[in-house]
Amino acid sequence: MQAQPTHIQGVSLLTVADTFGTPVYVYDAEKIQAQVKRLQEAFNAVPLRIKYATKALSNLSILKLLRKSGTGADAVSIEEVLLCLEAGFPPEDIMYTPNMVSFAEIQQAVELGVMLNIDNLPMLEKFGQTYGASVPVCVRLNPHILAGGNAKISVGHIDSKFGISILQVKAITEIVERYQLQVTGLHVHTGSDILDAAVFLKGAEILFEAAASFPDLRFLDFGGGFKVAYKPGDIATDMEDIGEKVSAAFLAFCERYGRKLELWFEPGKFLVSEAGFLLVRANVVKSTPASTFIGVDSGLNHLIRPMMYDAYHSVYNLTKTSGSEQVYTIVGYICETDTIAAERRLHTVDTGDVLVIQNAGAYGFSMASNYNSRMRPAEVLIYEGEAHLIRKRETFDDLLRQQVVLSF
């Protein structure tokens, strides 16, 4: 079973809930730093570059923490690029991996000096016409691998909108030759929640094969997708095993290729998921003939993963850590069936108790919305044994701010 902490770095989570109010996202800086270190150590045999997937959690203080821990960043929108620059990442440490954006956005990214990762042929052609050999570029390949926790987060298969098919490598090299493009990187990302070293090795083999057609490479980017344990009994990525196997294959390839390349990864979940806790308060405990519901002061507006991916998030009662237990279904306050967790055994919950939703660091706040005209929560970072507010709770004024009210 996952640990159910009442304190992080000696800071009481109940005190955090009382001080900053609920709902509140709380992040453990030490855990994030430890995950970076674990990945670095697993790949210490190769020149590894970590490009943190900003989309998982894009708070500026988190980005700064990751930069301080030695990572670069992967951004998927120009706004994420700007956030990464704001957090102090040098442009050359930022990889921009857009999908279906306008060429104007590509040009903006080039002007900002970040590395471009192009994922379709018409865009590569336009890139060539505009920049020729003057701006190095990375190409995102679609390896046709079906991998990932579920269909919505599997992106490397043949029907996916992402990447340029490996069956189109010849078309890529024609464009490269026509414009003397300098392809310095090749990229694949197959999906999220990938457990198996075999999937990364398969991705690697495909990159190695394609690499033969690109003589100017400096790096190969294997994407993100390492699985973390969400459920009791879930197996998490064996990072040390992946590190050993992928590094060995990579070094053998570099030998054949005749050049020392860098190996890039873009993890999101692996670095921040387990470091995040969403603290919510029980508004209502309601028994029906079928179930006992706990209705909390949050919902799909703050954590959409259970509804969007049927994702499992562990929940525990922070206010009562011993005594009697009962089975509950934990739901949100949104006018939808926003079940956060079905049929879970918790220490008996009363109105006002604080519950903890685990694994809330990745794709929690970053996918939050104002649905039902609710405000988004505050965010708190526990850093060096102290709780720091890193984003204020939204206020009603924030909901009004961009609205233009007609004077009928």
Binding residues: 225, 305, 309, 336, 363
Q: Helices (DSSP H) in 212-284: which residue ranges? A: 239-257, 269-272
CA distance 143 to 205: 10
Q: What length is written for the chain?
A: 408
* Tokens of residue 191, six digits: 């999906």
For the question of residue 335 being annotated catalytic, the response is yes
* Tokens of residue 97, six digits: 């991996």
Could you tell me which of 60, 94, 92 has the C-alpha nearest to residue 76? 94
Segment 31 to 50, residues that bind ligand LLP, using CB under 6 A: none
For ligand LLP, the binding residue among 192, 317, 329, 358 (CB under 6 A) is 192
* Selected range binding ligand LLP among 30-38, 58-66, 218-226, 322-330, rule: CB under 6 A: 218-226
* Tokens of residue 135, six digits: 């701006």
* Selected range binding ligand LLP among 33-41, 84-92, 267-275, 285-293, rule: CB under 6 A: 267-275
Q: Does 362 bind ligand LLP (CB under 6 A)?
A: yes
Q: Does 200 bind ligand LLP (CB under 6 A)?
A: no
DSSP category for residue 168? G
Q: What residues have CB less than 8 Å from 321, skipping those under 6 apart?
A: 4, 6, 347
CB of 360 to ligand LLP, least distance (A): 11
How far does Cα 265 stand from its chain's mean position? Answer: 12
Contact 343/327 with Cβ under 8 angstroms? yes
Q: What would the DSSP string read from start to end of 8-62?
A: ETTEEHHHHHHHH-SSEEEEEHHHHHHHHHHHHHHTTTS-EEEEEEGGG---HHH
Segment 68 to 97, residues that bind ligand LLP, using CB under 6 A: 74, 97
Query: Which candidate in 84, 138, 254, 335 is catalytic?
Result: 335
For ligand LLP, the binding residue among 16, 29, 56, 381 (CB under 6 A) is 56
Q: Does 224 bind ligand LLP (CB under 6 A)?
A: yes
CB of 73 or CB of 282, closer to ligand LLP: 73
Site pattern 96..115 for ligand LLP (x: CB under 6 A): -x------------------
Site pattern 247..266 for ligand LLP (x: CB under 6 A): -------------------x
CA distance 128 to 179: 5
Q: How many residues bind ligand LLP (CB under 6 A)?
A: 20
CB of 200 or CB of 250, closer to ligand LLP: 200
CB of 241 or CB of 398, closer to ligand LLP: 241
Segment 283 to 342, residues that bind ligand LLP, using CB under 6 A: 305, 309
Dihedral sign (CA 5, 236, 299, 335) = negative
SS3 at position 207: helix
CB of 26 to ligand LLP, least distance (A): 18
Q: Which residues bind ligand LLP (CB under 6 A)?
A: 53, 56, 74, 97, 153, 189, 192, 223-226, 266-270, 305, 309, 362-363
Q: Which residues are catalytic?
A: 335
